[in-house]
Amino acid sequence: MCRSIKTLRPPAIPEDATEEEIRAAALQYVRKVSGFRAPAAHNREVFDRAVDAVAEATAELLGGIEVRGAAARTS
């Protein structure tokens, strides 16, 4: 696993992950699996779409996870 990606759910972090934290994790993931820190111009669009898709999936995952023993939180 990429060491730059941190756990984004409580209790690892005290509050809900921000969009910025989710996007940063998605970017690190796409960089790792693609092998590119920054894609060439001809790969930029597909790279950016992948980051968007991973960020969206991550937000959905975090929004649906129930942590056992965690106090109910209100939005």
**Does residue 24 sit within a domain?**
yes
Evaluate whether residue 8 is within a structural domain: no
Q: Which of 25, 32, 35 is nearest to 62 (CA)?
A: 25
Question: Would you call 43 helix, strand, or coil by DSSP?
Answer: helix
Q: Residue 5 in contact with residue 29, Cβ under 8 Å?
A: yes
- The answer to whether residue 31 sits within a structural domain is yes
Q: Is residue 57 part of a domain?
A: yes
Q: Is residue 58 part of a domain?
A: yes
In a domain? residue 2:
no
For residue 49, being part of any structural domain is answered with yes
Please give the residue range of the domain that contains residue 26: 19-64
Distance between CA 71 and CA 55 in Å, rounded?
Answer: 26
* pTM (two decimals): 0.81
At 3 the pLDDT is 67
pLDDT at 12: 81
- Distance between CA atoms of 69 and 21, rounded to whole angstroms? 24
Domain count, the chain: 1
Give residue 75's pLDDT band: very low, low, confident or very high (50, 70, 90). Answer: very low
Please indicate, yes or no, if residue 48 is contained in any of the structural domains.
yes
Q: Kindly report, residue by residue over 3-45, the tens digit of the pLDDT.
A: 678 889 888 887 889 999 999 999 999 999 999 999 999 999 9
